[in-house]
Amino acid sequence: MMNKYRLMSPGPTPIPPEVSAAGALPIIHHRTPEFGEVFTRVNEALKRVFLTENDVFTYAASGTGAFEGAVQNLFSPGDKILVVNNGNFGGRWVKVGKAFGLEVTELKYDWGQKADNDEVAEALANDPEIKAAVCVLSETSTGTVNDIEGFAKAASNVVTIVDAVSGLGACELRTDDWGIDVVVAGSQKALMTPPGLGFVSVSERAMRMHEEAKMPRFYFDWTAAKKAYAKDPAQTAWTPAVSLIIQLDVALRQLLDEGVENVFGRHVLLGRASREGIKGMGLSLFGPDEDLNSAVTAAWVPEGVDGKQLVRMIFREHGIQIAGGQADMAGRIFRIGHCGYFDAFDIIATIAATELALESLDFPVELGKGVGAAQRVFSKSGVTA
């Protein structure tokens, strides 16, 4: 039977048809008023999504590139930073810090565990030389979302850096209200745009630290970006990814039309329905069962089932692309992404396909039980009524 392709991975994520269509528009020159108009609108919209008055710089790069840029722009070799590591991406930022010669204090947690912000405060109190603290908003590798408001409070004496690559525009993140200095994000998650754009918002305090920072840099240099943004109309320092920015313009307008608070609310429901669906079919969640976890739902592969086969079967038999586990969790967990352009029936289809695949793999499931549990979440909320 024909199966439609449904991308339910935690990134890249599906994009709205209007954003797809914009990807087929002709390429325009970037040093023109025409592109300047688009780019100015994008910059204003990004601020509204980041919930900040700070500049948000856009790079042709993945989130990892924008993150590396933050390290180059903020520090000098030998500087001390604190990195909260409770998953694959927290672990990556430890590696980036070390690659750039920083002294990294690592606050390590088991995958799936949340960061303890009392320990963040303690680690910073123990070493007043630490200049900045890094925390991941939504750990794509586990679905676990850290309490960033608490993190920003605990680390308020140093520059705070939040990796919001997965999460920004889905999980609640109030950059200015919570006092976060640097937020790194990417285009391919809740911003409903193809991968290839990295973003960074920079507070005044972070900009002052940047001015003292001696790490070599060029492509990601914030001073070069700031200078280009100050032009009329605003420009990027180097050739921008024109087509992706034109697509982003369409995507951000859709996001703002829905409303940032409504988008947060929708993601809470998507996460809740996914978790109820998983539990409803008799499986166990990986990580805490809480409404913060609104970007990715991770679940244990049940005993007797081959996790890689399960993910493959859901794709091959049903056309739905979910993700397996990363690193040590490969084959042991599976992950459903719902960060971005997702609605109730995307979740319902995915839960239904998971039930069908488990049945094919001789795991005892009662078809419809998980689906019903997911439906009840939407029914109670009145969203699909």
Known binding residues for substrate: 335
DSSP at 249: H
Q: Is 16 in the site for a copy of itself (CB under 8 A)?
A: no
Q: Interhelix angle for 260-280 vs 369-381, to 10°?
A: 150
Per the annotation, binding residues are 335
Report the residue number, 216 or 382, with the smaller CB distance to a copy of itself.
216
Stretch binding a copy of itself (CB under 8 A), from 40-48, 63-71, 155-163, 259-267 = 63-71
* 242 lines the binding site for a copy of itself (CB under 8 A): yes
Q: Is 90 in the site for a copy of itself (CB under 8 A)?
A: no
Binding part of the chain for a copy of itself, among 26-34, 249-257, 342-350, 365-373 by CB under 8 A, reads: 26-34
Q: Is 304 exposed, middle or buried (0-12, 13-18, 19+ CB in 10 A)?
A: exposed
Report the C-alpha gap between 71 and 79 in whole angstroms. 10
Q: Contacting a copy of itself (CB under 8 A), which of 24, 257, 261, 382?
A: 24
Tell me if 26 contacts a copy of itself by CB under 8 A: yes
Q: Quick check: 144 binds a copy of itself (CB under 8 A)?
A: no
Question: Smallest distance from the beta carbon of 20 to a copy of itself, in angstroms?
Answer: 5
Cβ proximity of 60 and 238 under 8 Å: yes
Beta strands in the chain (DSSP E): 6-7, 55-60, 80-85, 103-108, 130-136, 159-163, 182-186, 197-202, 296-300, 320-321, 323-324, 333-337
Q: What does the angle CA 258 – CA 141 – CA 331 come to, to the nearest 5 degrees?
A: 125
Chosen residue from 241, 263, 273, 314 binding a copy of itself by CB under 8 A: 241
> Furthest-apart CA pair in the chain: how many Å?
63
**Phi and psi angles of residue 333, each rounded to the nearest 5 degrees, phi first:** -130, 165
Name the minimum Å distance from CB 112 to a copy of itself.
21
Q: Per rule CB under 8 A, is residue 385 in the interface with a copy of itself?
A: no
Q: Which residue has the tokens 């009662």?
A: 366
At 205, phi and psi to the nearest 5?
-60, -40
Contacts with a copy of itself, 169-188, as mask; x by CB under 8 A: -----------------x-x
Q: Note whether 196 binds a copy of itself by CB under 8 A.
A: yes
239: contact with a copy of itself by CB under 8 A:
yes
68 is a contact residue toward a copy of itself (CB under 8 A): yes
- Residue 178 makes CB contacts below 8 A (sequence gap 6+) with 148, 149, 152, 153
Residues in binding contact with a copy of itself, number by CB under 8 A: 56
In the complex, which residues of this chain contact a copy of itself (CB under 8 A)? 5, 7, 9, 11-15, 20-21, 23-32, 59-65, 68, 77, 95-96, 99-101, 186, 188, 194-196, 198, 215-219, 221, 238-244, 315, 321, 323
